Amino acid sequence: MSVNITNLRNETPIFYATRANNPVIAAFLLDHGARVDHISTEGLSIAHCLSMMDDQQAADLLPRYLDCGASLGEVALDTLTERSDRMSLGAGLPLMWAVFKNRPILFEAILRSHSRPQLQITPADYCTLLTIICALNHDKMLEIAVRLYSSSVNQLLGVADTPNTIQLRGRFPMTGTNVVEMDLVLEEPFQGITTSNYTRLLLKALDANSRLLLDRRYLHRANFKQAKAQTCSFLLKHGADPTQRCEDNEPKSTALSYAVYTGDIVAFRLFVTHLQEGGVELLPILSNTETFGGYSALQRAIYSDSRDIFFFLVEKYPGLLELKGEAGRGPLQSAVTQVWPGYCEELLRRGASIYDRANDRSTPSTWALMRNPTLDGAKTVMEMMAIGADMDRILGPDQESGYTAFAKMIHGMTVYKIDYGFDRLEYLVQRFGKPSFIANSQTGASLITHLLMPKPPLSDASTMVTQAAMLRYIMQLFPEKLNIVEDMIRGTALHLACGLGNLACVEVLLELGADVDVETRSPSRERGITALGLAVQRMHDPPPRAIRELGSREIATFRKNIELIIAALARKGAETAGKAASVALVLRVDNGLQKGDTNIHVAILDSSRSGASSTEPDNEWSRRLPWEGERPAPFDPGYDGQATGEFVFDDGLLQFMPERSYKQLEILLGAINPRMRSKDYVEMRDPAPGRYVKGIEMSIEILKTVWKNGGNLPSGWEIRQDVESGRIYFVDHNRRETSWDPPFGD
């Protein structure tokens, strides 16, 4: 029987012996003339199979196989089946198989064999090799690869992709790991690995992908941490800079910041020691907010829940305790957003101020209630900060903005839509007492006014429900304020809700027993109008400008709400428009009541009116022309950000809020997840060519002139613009004359 017999996959007995880790039989077959140059139908050479043997025995057989014609240049991918070992899935050249199968002795033997002129690898293969070695933390193989670079790599082969590099890119997704980017910067002619590429390799060694971490643990077992530390140390010795940014717009693209983001205390200590030994002053680096996504290293460690790094920094660099990050928030305000109370406890022990306020005037206490992920976590840190504290100073009106903590929480739920729940408001009231009814000590605005005046879109059902529930809770706290006439709005809460078309809040107030006969009142006039009179007047007036700007859906919702509000008031016994109502208003109400309360809205509003009535003249529409507008365009200087927009949230529902509020909300989310802020980035388009812009401006001026003169030009007339002065003039082609004056006077 021949020792070189093959099966259907073109495999010989020596293939089987090598793959079965039986070096004795493999050597015996080799001594008896077994050939080793066969390539299986799966693309495997016998050199690939060596990685399936014990490391030392495979390295001993390699020279004999090569002398007998075995190939090191074949590219093959391990067979992937249900029983395949995905964590050590082989791919690429036999050299790469030794990496994936963790055979360092065989790896060195193969790489030394590549020093033969006809077997040298390309620079692209070499860079891919280093990338994968660093990603898997093979520290010994990394040292071998760098040491044997000059003999095993042929620089003249160029940096173009090879079948090996192409196959390796697809290997990691097959194992369930994110793609390991082969992003080393390669230039022709290839001159070796630069320090910037060593820095990129350092980031590969730190990659915290969960599946990649599992692969490393599988490969290195108990030496898992040691392998990473030695890999990083080797790269640092060869010029890797842990403070160099590899991507301009990515905070985590420095090795130092990545270690903080991922809580890698081993790598972080290693980097700090390396920089200190190099004479680098670390405090400015750790204080650089651009490096750590808008915060210092200390605050980023808190947000990333990197506890070991946090304690290291507060102990070694106490100066970081005084720094503030994005939006003017200090470390304590970062700490109260975390479930684990140890951050807050340590900062309070070191003297952090519980009275410190951010740019939005929030204290650590209000920030804990609004941003801590759990109520229990918020309670824990609140109790810590309440010991010996002046709670009136914390929860009472702010000296600068005038808002109380309770008012800020209401604003957060109804305007910013931070879903922390009513239970936190209830805890605040139960633990520290009923808040002040005055929401702002400087303006005198009550909680009712503060709640309703932001005027969210009426078609935003979720916000309307939240607002109504909040109003009910406030009225339960202050039942005596139900029918009080506020000086600021010169009416009751019912007047305000009716005037805004807020049906949900009107229903809550009527259910709680609001008096429908109370009239508005002002210093100059004792008499006023009732909520019914106000609603009827709203029905006959054009919708408010803020409603019109939101479009036809909002206009329709407003009108429908007013109809339902009038019907609800009538059912509660409302009969008069008020003593100060005009004769026309009184007649409208009386005529409606005579036909019955169920049809009062029919008598007051002709339902056949079309949606076009939303643009009825109110001495404002003409100012909406492009050349006479009042408001600057978005993102231009002076833009106030008050325009309401619709935004699709991750739950698929539409949310309504001013553009400025949305930006502030993203800043809040950015404190936890900076990637969320990418929604607010605006990529401005390239400026149009000068002649195009000039032509558009000329067309606008021509249209403006025609519009002002009341009609179209006669036949044979044309409008032109003087190039130098920009002034409009008229051309009469019939007479071949020009004139500054339009033809309409003739």
pLDDT tens string 327-367: 899 999 999 999 999 999 999 999 999 999 999 899 999 99
Segment 424-441 shows an average pLDDT of: 95
The segment with the largest mean pLDDT, out of 10-14, 175-179, 618-622, is 10-14
pLDDT tens string 279-296: 999 999 999 999 999 999
Residue 707 has pLDDT above 70, yes or no: no
Q: Is 93 helix (H, G, I), strand (E, B) or coil?
A: coil
Classify 690-745 by CATH class: mainly beta
The segment with the largest mean pLDDT, out of 430-439, 656-665, 666-675, 737-746, is 430-439
The lowest-confidence range among 65-79, 220-234, 483-497, 587-601 is: 587-601
Residue 503 has pLDDT above 60, yes or no: yes
Token digits of residue 435 = 């808040």
* Phi/psi at 306 (5° precision): -95, 80
The lowest-confidence range among 198-202, 315-319, 487-491, 513-517 is: 487-491
Tokens 């009231």 belong to which residue?
A: 429
Residue 603 has a pLDDT of: 34
Residue 673 has a pLDDT of: 45
pLDDT cut 90: percent of the chain above it: 60
CATH of segment(s) 446-628 = 1.25.40.20
Residue 609 has pLDDT above 50, yes or no: no
Tokens 């490096």 belong to which residue?
A: 291
Question: Are the beta carbons of 698 and 721 closer than 8 angstroms?
Answer: yes
Give DSSP secondary structure letters for 591-653: HHHHT-GGGHHHHHS-TT--GGGGG---S-GGGGSGGG-SSPPTTSTT-----EEEEE-TTS-
Residue 418 has a pLDDT of: 81
Residue 613 has pLDDT above 80, yes or no: no
* Phi/psi at 481 (5° precision): -95, 5
Residue 608 has a pLDDT of: 36
Residue 402 has pLDDT above 60, yes or no: yes
Give DSSP secondary structure letters for 471-493: HHHHHHH-GGGTT--BTTTTB-H
Residue 652 has a pLDDT of: 62
Residue 174 has a pLDDT of: 77
Question: Are the beta carbons of 659 and 645 closer than 8 angstroms?
Answer: yes
Residue 417 has a pLDDT of: 81
- What are the Cα distances from residue 62, in Å, to 4, 18, 487? 19, 11, 94
Residue 113 has a pLDDT of: 96
Cα 363 to chain centroid distance, Å, stands at: 24
Intervals of CATH 1.25.40.20 along the chain: 1-71, 446-628
Tokens 């800020």 belong to which residue?
A: 408
**Percent composition of the chain: helix, strand, coil (DSSP 3-state, to 5):** 55, 5, 40
Residue 189 has a pLDDT of: 81
Segment 601-607 shows an average pLDDT of: 35
Residue 648 has pLDDT above 80, yes or no: no
CA atoms within 13 A on the CB side of 516: 20
Residue 466 has a pLDDT of: 93
Going by the DSSP 8-state scheme, the letter that residue 713 receives in this structure is P
The segment with the largest mean pLDDT, out of 442-451, 524-533, 573-582, 668-677, is 442-451
Question: Are the beta carbons of 306 and 298 closer than 8 angstroms?
Answer: no
Residue 156 and residue 134: Cα distance in Å, rounded?
25
Tell me which H or E stretch contains 92: strand 91-92
Residue 656 has pLDDT above 70, yes or no: no
Question: Are the beta carbons of 452 and 502 closer than 8 angstroms?
Answer: yes
pLDDT cut 70: percent of the chain above it: 82
pLDDT-derived band at 8, boundaries 50, 70, 90: confident
More confident residue, 81 or 371: 371
pLDDT tens string 97-127: 999 999 999 999 999 999 998 899 999 999 9
The lowest-confidence range among 147-151, 209-213, 623-627, 692-696 is: 623-627
Residue 347 and residue 110: Cα distance in Å, rounded?
55
Residue 641 has pLDDT above 80, yes or no: no
pLDDT tens string 203-228: 999 999 888 899 999 999 999 999 99
Residue 574 and residue 730: Cα distance in Å, rounded?
64
pLDDT-derived band at 184, boundaries 50, 70, 90: confident
Segment 190-197 shows an average pLDDT of: 89
pLDDT-derived band at 130, boundaries 50, 70, 90: very high
Residue 692 has a pLDDT of: 67
Residue 501 has pLDDT above 90, yes or no: yes
Task: Work out the number of other CB atoms within 10 angstroms of the CB of residue 570.
Answer: 22
Segment 381-387 shows an average pLDDT of: 95
Residue 205 and residue 132: Cα distance in Å, rounded?
9
The lowest-confidence range among 84-93, 200-209, 506-515, 630-639 is: 630-639
Sign of CA dihedral 53, 57, 59, 62: negative
Residue 583 and residue 181: Cα distance in Å, rounded?
78
Segment 682-704 shows an average pLDDT of: 64
Residue 300 and residue 290: Cα distance in Å, rounded?
11
Supply the mean pLDDT for the chain: 85
Residue 248 has a pLDDT of: 76
Residue 597 has pLDDT above 60, yes or no: no
Residue 308 has a pLDDT of: 97
Question: Are the beta carbons of 642 and 658 closer than 8 angstroms?
Answer: yes
The lowest-confidence range among 126-140, 352-366, 606-620 is: 606-620
Residue among 416, 474, 409 nearest 446 (CA): 474
Homologous superfamily of 1-71:
Ankyrin repeat-containing domain (1.25.40.20)
Residue 598 has a pLDDT of: 38
pTM here is 0.75
The lowest-confidence range among 246-260, 341-355, 515-529, 731-745 is: 731-745
The lowest-confidence range among 45-59, 392-406, 721-735 is: 721-735
Residue 600 has pLDDT above 60, yes or no: no
More confident residue, 601 or 114: 114
More confident residue, 697 or 267: 267
Residue 605 has a pLDDT of: 35
Q: Find the helix packing angle between 405-414 and 461-477, rounded to 10°.
A: 160
Residue 85 has a pLDDT of: 72
Going by the DSSP 8-state scheme, the letter that residue 396 receives in this structure is S
Residue among 306, 360, 372 nearest 328 (CA): 360
Cα 726 to chain centroid distance, Å, stands at: 46
